[in-house]
Amino acid sequence: MATGVLPFGQRTLERSRARTYAPIESVWEGEDAQLIEQLLHYYPKKTPRRILDATFNGRRFWRGSKRSVVGIDIDLGHRPAIVADNTRMPFGESFFDVVVYDPPHIPNQGRDKLKDFNTRFGLGIKSPKEKGYAFSHTFPPFVKEAHRVLRNEGLLFAKIADYVHDHRYQWAHVELVQAAKDAGFVPCDCIIKIRKGPIIDPKWKVAHHSRRRHCYWLVFRKSENCE
């Protein structure tokens, strides 16, 4: 619809958005907390008031933030405000404006206790052998729940990393996009986050895969359209 034929209130909102518009970069090298603040200004059509962090852990995403955020985590040890499973959330429908999601990024290593990825990468929970020790099977039930608890036009911001496991490249971000589409989200944007150095375990042998120095921040909207 052309701006000229918008109703008065919407026209005012469009004008104020145009005044404050600053494009967001597709590559991010800073802290997640700063990027999230930019996402929260850039994508919502209305100022977001109810924000859920569905994988709270050490709450690093909210360092220095004055926002009031509901944080859940399945692991009591992180002392979240609410201990809950994000695939069965204790909230009503259409409650939140924004859901933030940062699932465990790499699989646990079966029974190999030497590779203490649990502590280092906040896996929190273990994945069974029949799931390849990985977590992508949790994406579909999570995005279904995120869709339920978000209001229409609500946003899901997800930090997701691909990885190499079981001698294969594991396309976690593709699996998440597919699961989100199946749940009714429209995938709207992809920002590449770069870290200074790759995650390297000294026990790794020679491997013919590039060392991953990036992950993605994906933006989904509970809507038919992105804009």
Ligand X SMILES: C[S@@+](CC[C@H](N)C(=O)[O-])C[C@H]1O[C@@H](n2cnc3c(N)ncnc32)[C@H](O)[C@@H]1O
Within 37-56, which residues bind ligand X (CB under 6 A)? 55
Question: In angstroms, rounded to a whole number, what is the distance separating the alpha carbons of residues 182 and 176?
Answer: 10
Site for ligand X, residues 126 to 145, rule: CB under 6 A: 138
Query: Which of these, 151, 16, 19, 145, lies nearest to 89 by C-alpha position?
Result: 145
For ligand X, which is the closer residue by CB, 87 or 94? Answer: 87
Minimum gap (Å) between residue 71 Cβ and ligand X: 9
Q: Report if residue 124 touches ligand X, rule: CB under 6 A.
A: yes
Q: In this structure, are residues 151 and 94 in contact, taking their beta carbons and an 8 Å threshold?
A: yes
What residues numbered 86-105 form the site for ligand X, per CB under 6 A?
86-87, 102-105
**On the CB side of 3, how many CA atoms lie within 13 Å of its CA?**
8
- Tally of CB atoms within 10 A around 184: 15
First to last CA, the chain: 12
Among 3, 12, 17, 58, binds ligand X (CB under 6 A): 58
Cβ-proximal residue to ligand X, closest one = 124
Contacting positions for ligand X (CB under 6 A)? 55, 57-61, 72-75, 78, 85-87, 102-105, 122, 124-125, 138
